[in-house]
Structure 1
């Protein structure tokens, strides 16, 4: 079977700055019947292991290091032997959740992660977190945005390590320049498209101020 995308939804908690919130996270599996990449190992390593099945797990890619996106990553890596990738600017956030286990590899802007005949290109999109990244796959017509861009606007920037003007710059310069038909697969909630979100940039800027 050709490369395709699978979505899992896992449930747990997001904690930062002394607060805790119940959240549902999207866990994305990208690959074919033989190998796969997991984007954001959230909450439930066992469920992700079952979804991977007997396929080779080539990588665990973290769009950023908030606990709800990385809390299952070490357990998943231990079960499968996969390497964990994270942008180094998010190491301070990572250490809040996993002080005794470092990621295995560092993501870099422009890097290409190959799996099942497709190329996931890393776009560094800081703002929600310093090391936030998105993953663009033009062949499939998708971009995985983590918590940088959602249906209806940018990810939250009201907590530590986040910055509203920076996320606006990231979205304008790195995401809204993608083809308008590009499907936006988010870290939480339903997908959208670049074309659906692009007209609202000025509204978000005004709302953010």
Structure 2
């Protein structure tokens, strides 16, 4: 079951919530994912195409998809990326360090474009700046839209702390460094739109950094 939410306070950003599973290291978990659609009435970027291609396409409508952007390659964030890319003739964009995780889901399909730190993706007058934030996975990348005051954090930062690091290809020390050096240096009023669950703000998460370090893995 999927639902569409349009943020009336910021019409350039839509959220589609989809449900499915996440699989890694022999485990399978039920999850709900945030799929973000960013742009205007003409063209958009789709961030993290998860679980339900039809629900995502219904939200996109007849707009042009400039790219299907993956914040990282865990299967619950990329399992509909090829379907959306093929439907709209759009490239799949992913950091190359995610290749081992991508290949767990898609052995015969490779991303179309490598995303590097500092790259800028554009659609509908919105610019998303790629911030490489490894830790949850080697190529995890957040997308910062300064003019929207918004960060799309994937699974790097959530309400209450950083993403999980207890599985293959993850590192607690690395994600703490990424959050501290790349994300908490952003303005405190920046809204963090996450890969799962509700939004938070940079300023709300900054005071908890020492607690995260003390809690460890």
TM-score bracket relative to the smaller structure = over 0.9
Moved over 4 A (4+): none
Instruction: Please name the residue that 1:144 is paired with.
Output: 152
**TM-score, scaled relative to structure 1:** 0.98
Give the aligned partner of residue 174 of structure 1. Answer: 182
Which structure 2 residue ranges, 5 or more long, are not aligned?
1-9
**Aligned position for 1:122:** 130
Q: Distance in 1 between matches of 2:112 and 2:130?
A: 17
Output the CA distance in 2 between the equivalents of 1:36 and 1:114: 8
Q: Compute the displacement of 1:164 (Å).
A: 0.2
Give the Cα separation in 2 of the matches to 1:59 and 1:3.
Answer: 19
2:122 aligned with 1:104, yes or no?
A: no
Gaps of at least 5 residues in structure 1 are none
Report the CA distance between 1:3 and its aligned residue. 6.1
**Which of residues 15, 18, 42 in structure 2 aligns to 1:34?**
42
Structure 2 counterpart SS, 1:139: helix
Residue 200 (structure 1) aligned to one of 176, 188, 208: 208
C-alpha displacement of 1:194: 0.2
CA distance in 2, matches of 1:148, 1:100: 27
Q: CA RMSD in A?
A: 0.9
**Counterpart pick for 1:188 among 182, 188, 196:** 196
Counterpart in the other structure of 1:132: 140
Q: Distance in 2 between matches of 1:198 and 1:205?
A: 12
The SS at the match of 1:201 is: helix
1:3–1:117 Cα contact (<8 Å) kept:
no
Say if 1:64 and 1:129, in contact at 8 Å, map to a contact too: yes
How far the C-alpha of 1:71 sits from its partner, in A, is: 0.2
Looking at structure 1, the residues matched to 116 and 11 of structure 2 have their Cα atoms a distance apart, in angstroms, of: 24
